[in-house]
Structure formats: structure tokens, C-alpha cells
Amino acid sequence: MDSALIPEGVKRCSFGKFIFWIIVVGAVLLWGVFAMLLCWFKGLNQTNMNDAYGFAVWIWADLAVIALGGGAFFTGLLRYIFGKDELKNIINYAVLIGFICYSSALLILAIDIGQPLRGWFIFWHANVHSMLTEVAFCLSCYFAVLTIEYIPLILENRQVDKVPFFHNLSHNMHGIMAIFAATGAFLSFFHQGSLGGVAGVLFGRPFAYREGVFIWPWTFFLFTWSAAACGPCFTIFITWITEKITRKKLVKKNVIMLLAKIAGWMLATYTIAKIIDTWYWAAVTVPSKGFTLMDFYSNNPLYGIWILVLEIVICGVVPSIILITKKGRESSFLLISAVFLGALGACVNRWVMVLQVMAVPVMTFESWPMYFPSWQEIATTILPVAYGIILIMISYRYLPIFPQEREIEQIG
Amino acid sequence: MLPFSFEWIWDLSHMVFMGGLWYALTIIGLGMTYCIIKAAVDTCKGKGGHCGH
């Protein structure tokens, strides 16, 4: 039925099967949209946020998807600026994943601000002393860059490409993509960093507070570093899931190996920096504020010392060792486990830097407040996942996302 | 926010923050304008047939 729209020389499932799964995922999407409308029309009383948790699951999800979407800027940087030509075979998918992650982040923010019609205030009535203003600026601009990187893919659809203007536009956009990629890398460096900076400058919250260079606390650099390390891990992981669902190889092994190796070294160096940062914070910063390390961890289910072990050892040291060794990368099971752990590590780090920062008591009369999101918060956090799956399904079916697919199919 | 807005103050923070924003938007805007105009010119010249790249 839609065969004229499908890229030439590749196989896709039947239109009926495709629509069936769109409806299934669409139902989840509608559930999220319903919860979103409740939040907009009834207000933030629909959430379980309170005085202790001004930042909650939305902001965690926001920071997590921004970190995971970091694969787009870092792969773009490697491809267009450092000339890693093999990565042209995965850059389209990295851009698509980045586009989904950043549009999701903006959507979550639009729900979180409660009054989305006033979202433009942050641009026009900007508080120029806030790191969050920098985040809003860079996030919006980088989303524009990702849209520009995604547009040529749409224009390369079989039918759209037949229109000479669109064909030329796509060709020209490819021609100056390095400028957009460099702008994207610049913007990403600052917004990823400023998200970490927001936590690091909280001198009233010693769990998050870090020293640093000039106006930037160490968390500024660690957040950018972790996004550059874990973003490509997430890209590899989603590529693997897509290959499993479509039951075919979409990207050649050498491309995955190269990206995994670079991600591994980024993750290894990040983990070393994170260990040094944590040690210095525990040994110098924390005592200087009148606390001990264990004051920041509790026996409750959410914020035990296990979370530190999970973040640094299980999701940092272990995947780093796997990814930097050739044997580790060549084992499919170990590779996928490592990229999964790497991506999980970014999520755990953002969880700690958003929610645990809020939960740690700083006054002697305070206790550990617990928090569980309302169903509206859960539904609106799942909403972007459903949206992402739908966009991947549509893009995979109609756009030439994987340049090597046809060649691999012919060989196979 | 632009310098003619009543909230504007000529200090380093405003110049760095707002200057950075307008700088990024200018690069993105000029880049896209160049691509669109060149595509229109190329199309008028008859470039871009029905084949791929």
C-alpha cells in the first residue's frame, strides 16, 4: 500500500502490521497526552511534588534524556570535525535518537513549567545570572540544530527526493552540515555542562556542591563528559534493539566497534575523573561543611550507599573495562551489557544529582523525605518514550536511516 | 531580549548571555538561508534530477 514511499532495495513489514503496532504504541501515547492535559488544565497539584521535591521525576527524566541524546552531538563532532568517516553509517540514527531525546526534554519542560504559554518568558525576560537560562538557550538552539540535521533525512524520502528543490536543499544542507555540527557541539558543551553546574553551585546543599574553575564547578565538566561517553552507548544500545526487532543487521560491525571503542575511552576517563571528584568531595569538601560521607546516604530504599557503588563501579568501571578491551567489544553479550550499563550510569548519575540532592537533610531537625511520582507524572514521563518509538518506526520505514542496510541485505 | 528592551542593562552578563544566543541563532539562520537560496537557484538552473546523490 505504501511501497512507493519505502526506500528502494530494502524490505519492510506489511502495512497492516505496521499500523497495528502504531496503534498499540499510540494508545500509550494517548494515555500520556491525557495526563499532560490534566497537568495543564488542573495544574501541578496533579503531581506528587512538594516543598522538598521542587525538582522531581520530570527533571530527572529531562536530564537523563538530554545525557542519552548526547550521542548526536558527539557522533556529529567525531564525524564532521574529527573526520571519523566510518561513523557516517550511524550518524543518521544518532541524529534521530538525539532529535527524539531533545524534543522529549522540551516537551517534559513544557509540562513542568505549568504555564507553557509563558515558556517564551525565559528568552525575553531572561535571568542572566542563572545557569538554567543558559540551559534553556542552548537546549532550544541545539534542538533547532538537530531539526536541521534531521530535515535532510526527510527530504531523502523516495518521493520527496523527486522534487528538484527538495533534492537540492538536502544536498546543500549536507554540504554545510559541518557548520551545524560544530555549532551543535558548542551548544551541547554548554547546556550539558550548565545542567551539572546547576547542582554544583548549590552551596546550601553540600551533597551537590563542588569547587571548580572560575564560575564553573567540576560538575559542569563531568556532565558534559558523561554525556559524550554515555550518549554513544545509548545510540549503540538502541541500534541493537532495532536490529533485534527488525531481525536484520543494519550497521556493519566495524562501525559499532569504532563507536564503542571511543565511547569506552570516554567512559573510562570520565569514570576516573568522577572517582577523583567523589574522593575529593568526600575527603575535603564534605568535612569542611561539617558533614561526613555517610550523612548523605541512608538506609531507605532510594538513597542507600548502594547507589554510589551502582553509579561508579557497576555502571562506570565495569563497562569501561569491557569497552576499552578488544575482547570485551567483540563479545556481543559483553558489548551490549556494557553499553546498557553505560547508559544506565548516566541515568543513575542524573537521579542522584536531582533527587538525592533534594532528599538529603541539611538541617538538624530535618529527616529524609521520600517521594513517589503520581500516575500523571509517570504517564507523562512514558509519553516521550511512546513518541520516540513511533518516530523511530515511521523514520525507519520511510527514510534511509541506515545507509548500509541495502548492502548488508544483499550480502546476507 | 534585545538592547532596546526596557529590561536590558549594558553589563557583561547580558552581553555574554544574550550575545551568545543571538550569535547561535544568527549562524543557524544564515546557514539555513544560504541552503534555501542556493537550492532555489540550483533548481532554476535545472539541477537536481530524479536520481539520487
- Report domain extents, chain A: 15-411
Question: What is the DSSP secondary-structure string of A355-396?
Answer: IIHHHS--STT---------HHHHHHHHHHHHHHHHHHHHHH
pTM for this prediction? 0.94
Phi, psi of A76 (to 5 degrees): -60, -40
| Residue B52 reports pLDDT greater than 70 | no
Chain B nearest C-alpha distance from A205 (Å): 25
Q: A172 vs B35: CB contact, 8 Å cut-off?
A: yes
C-alpha to C-alpha distance for A228 and A136, rounded to whole angstroms: 19
pLDDT at res. A296 = 92
- To probe the interface with B, which of A158, A165, A168 has the most B CB atoms within 10 Å? A168
ipTM: 0.88
Query: Which candidate from A129, A164, A173 shows the least CB-CB separation from B43?
Result: A164
Arithmetic mean of pLDDT, A85-113: 94
Q: A137 vs B49: CB contact, 8 Å cut-off?
A: no
pLDDT at res. B53 = 45
CA distance readout (Å), B34 to A81, A152, A235, B23, B28: 21, 15, 31, 16, 10
Query: Which candidate from A126, A138, A169 shows the least CB-CB separation from B39?
Result: A169
pLDDT at res. A302 = 84
- Chain A residues whose CB is inside 8 A of the B52 CB are 161
**pLDDT tens string A129-171:** 888 888 889 899 999 999 999 999 999 999 999 999 999 999 9
B34 at the A interface (CB within 8 A)?
A: yes
Q: A165 vs B40: CB contact, 8 Å cut-off?
A: yes
Q: How confident is the model at residue A95 (pLDDT cuts 50, 70, 90)?
A: very high
Q: A133 vs B17: CB contact, 8 Å cut-off?
A: yes
CATH class of the domain comprising A15-411: mainly alpha
Q: B25 vs A141: CB contact, 8 Å cut-off?
A: yes
| Residue A301 reports pLDDT greater than 90 | no
pLDDT at res. B50 = 52
CB atoms closer than 10 angstroms to residue A303: 21
**pLDDT tens string A184-228:** 998 998 889 989 999 999 999 999 999 998 888 999 999 999 999
Arithmetic mean of pLDDT, A317-336: 96
B36 at the A interface (CB within 8 A)?
A: yes
Q: Own/partner pairs for A291-295, CB < 8 Å, 24+ apart?
A: A291/A206, A295/A360
**pLDDT tens string A9-34:** 899 999 999 999 999 999 999 999 99
Helix (H, G, I), strand (E, B) or coil at A226: helix
Query: Which candidate from B31, B42, B53 shows the least CB-CB separation from A176?
Result: B31
**pLDDT tens string A330-379:** 999 999 999 999 999 999 999 999 999 989 988 888 889 889 999 999 99
Closest CA to A154 of A315, A395, A383: A395
Arithmetic mean of pLDDT, A68-96: 94
Phi, psi of A197 (to 5 degrees): -60, -35
- Chain A residues whose CB is inside 8 A of the B5 CB are 124
pLDDT at res. B49 = 64
What's the whole-number average pLDDT of chain A?
93
pLDDT at res. A307 = 94
**pLDDT tens string A103-136:** 999 999 999 888 888 889 989 999 988 888 888 8
